């Protein structure tokens, strides 16, 4: 069990800056994020797109913003729990007991949800019958490529993941690559390689096709794919892989007894606290009159939520407001010299 003053769910810009605010005022924190890297939407959705409305930064990309926020956290020793999703949250006397899908448990008086539009999950195939084969014959990511050796693998998608895996798995497997249109958005070099492998018979390419249904009794046997013109082909397949990118799902947050409004969590504007004491929501996921989904609003919300955390984490101490320019205590925490 990990004890901490505050647990931050979400390592996007709002979560990262809130960690900074907590450390500045002398609180510990831990950060959990379902993605395998920090940055949230900035890094997952638009790493290369310039952002023009971060105060005092005329222009920066999502990736640069993330890097700068991480640099700002360097003076502090903060534990990141990446690739983990918070699944359960329950009250344990004055604290919250928080469990992740990897079996970690946190005990903390403060939980700060900085979850954006929810957690990123792979987009799945639409035919319902796919569910029964999921994690057995149908996968959305690859953990162990050995299982595909000598098998027939049907790969769906048109981006780099689909192309890269088609090339890689064609070494030891029979590969079908299926995409909904003629153009691929993956790297040209990989696409050239795919065409080469197609000519040598290592990869069979089906374009303008999508998955219609999957067939099998317990284990997957074959799949039907449907052409734009409705023609159907049956392909023998031992495994099916889908690479359609990530979507954002509110996920387990919906089960924590919070007041929800569509996909957002209702909070007050003093502490950014939800209807549950000690649970805060900040950034894109929170909602209050006048809410703007701007990164700068997330920073403000995080700064206030951090001060609210102080009261619950240090019930016997009085919070003292100080500036980083003048406070000796803060400078010590930052590891910089006082004047």
Please report, as ranges, the residues that interact with other proteins according to CB under 8 A.
Answer: 41, 45-46, 49, 117, 123, 126, 157-159, 179-181, 183, 185, 210, 228, 244-245, 247-249, 263, 293
> How many CB atoms sit inside 10 A of residue 282's CB?
29
Question: Smallest distance, Å, CB 90 to other proteins?
Answer: 27
Question: Smallest distance, Å, CB 117 to other proteins?
Answer: 5
Q: Considering beta carbons, is residue 128 or 318 the nearer one to other proteins?
A: 128
Q: Considering beta carbons, is residue 51 or 306 the nearer one to other proteins?
A: 51
Question: Smallest distance, Å, CB 280 to other proteins?
Answer: 22
Q: Considering beta carbons, is residue 45 or 54 the nearer one to other proteins?
A: 45
Question: Smallest distance, Å, CB 296 to other proteins?
Answer: 15
Question: Smallest distance, Å, CB 181 to other proteins?
Answer: 7
Question: Smallest distance, Å, CB 262 to other proteins?
Answer: 9
Question: Smallest distance, Å, CB 195 to other proteins?
Answer: 19
Q: Considering beta carbons, is residue 200 or 229 the nearer one to other proteins?
A: 229
CA 291 to chain centre: 23
Q: Considering beta carbons, is residue 75 or 245 the nearer one to other proteins?
A: 245
Question: Smallest distance, Å, CB 263 to other proteins?
Answer: 8
HEC assignment per residue over the chain: CEECCEEEECCCHHHHHHHHHHHHCCCCEEEEECCCCCCCHHHHCCCCCEECCECCECCEEHHHHHHHHHHHCCCCCCEEEECCCEEEEEEECCEEEEEECCCCEEEECEEEECCCCCEEEECCCCCHHHHHHECCCEECCCCCHHHHCCCEEEEECCCHHHHHHHHHHCCCCEEEEEECCCCCCCCHHHHHHHHHHHHCCCEEEEECEEEEEEEEECEEEEEEEEECCCCEEEEECCEEEECCCEEEECHHHHHCCCCEECCEEECCCCCCECCCCCEEECHHHEECCCCCCCHHHHHHHHHHHHHHHHHHHCCCCCCCCCCCCCCHHHHHHHCCCCC
Show Cβ contacts of residue 194 under 8 Å, excluding neighbours closer than 6 positions: 163, 166, 167, 177, 184, 203, 205
> Would you state the structure tokens that stand for residue 21, as one six-digit string?
């605010």
Q: Considering beta carbons, is residue 67 or 180 the nearer one to other proteins?
A: 180
Q: Considering beta carbons, is residue 198 or 210 the nearer one to other proteins?
A: 210
Q: Considering beta carbons, is residue 180 or 215 the nearer one to other proteins?
A: 180
């Amino acid at each position: 069990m990990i004890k901490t003053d505050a647990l931050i769910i979400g390592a996007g810009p709002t979560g990262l800056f809130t960690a900074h605010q907590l450390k500045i005022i002398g609180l510990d924190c831990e950060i959990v994020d379902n993605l395998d890297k920090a940055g949230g939407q900035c890094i997952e959705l638009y790493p290369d797109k310039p952002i023009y409305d971060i105060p005092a930064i005329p222009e920066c990309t999502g990736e640069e913003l993330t890097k700068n926020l991480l640099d700002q956290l360097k003076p502090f020793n903060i534990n990141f729990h990446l690739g983990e999703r918070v699944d359960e949250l329950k009250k344990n006397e004055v604290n919250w007991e928080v469990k992740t899908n990897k079996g970690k448990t946190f005990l903390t008086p403060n939980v700060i949800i900085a979850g954006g539009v929810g957690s990123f999950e792979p987009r799945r195939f639409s035919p319902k019958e796919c569910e029964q084969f999921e994690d057995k014959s149908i996968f959305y990511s690859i953990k162990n490529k050995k299982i595909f050796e000598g098998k027939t693998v049907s790969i769906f998608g048109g981006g780099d993941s689909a192309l890269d895996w088609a090339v890689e798995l064609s070494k030891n497997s029979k590969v079908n690559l299926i995409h909904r249109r003629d153009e691929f958005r993956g790297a040209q070099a990989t696409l050239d390689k795919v065409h080469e492998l197609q000519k040598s018979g290592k990869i069979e390419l089906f374009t303008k096709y999508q998955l219609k249904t999957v067939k099998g009794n317990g284990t997957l046997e074959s799949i039907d794919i449907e052409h734009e013109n409705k023609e159907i082909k049956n392909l023998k397949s031992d495994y099916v892989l889908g690479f359609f990118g990530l979507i954002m799902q509110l996920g387990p947050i919906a089960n924590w007894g919070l007041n929800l409004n569509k996909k957002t969590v209702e909070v007050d504007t003093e502490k950014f606290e939800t209807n549950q004491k000690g649970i805060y929501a900040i950034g894109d996921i929170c909602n209050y009159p006048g809410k703007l989904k701007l990164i700068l609003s997330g920073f403000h919300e995080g700064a206030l939520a951090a001060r609210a955390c102080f009261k619950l984490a240090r019930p016997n101490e009085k919070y003292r407001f100080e500036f980083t320019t003048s406070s000796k205590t803060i400078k010590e925490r930052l590891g910089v010299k006082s004047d």
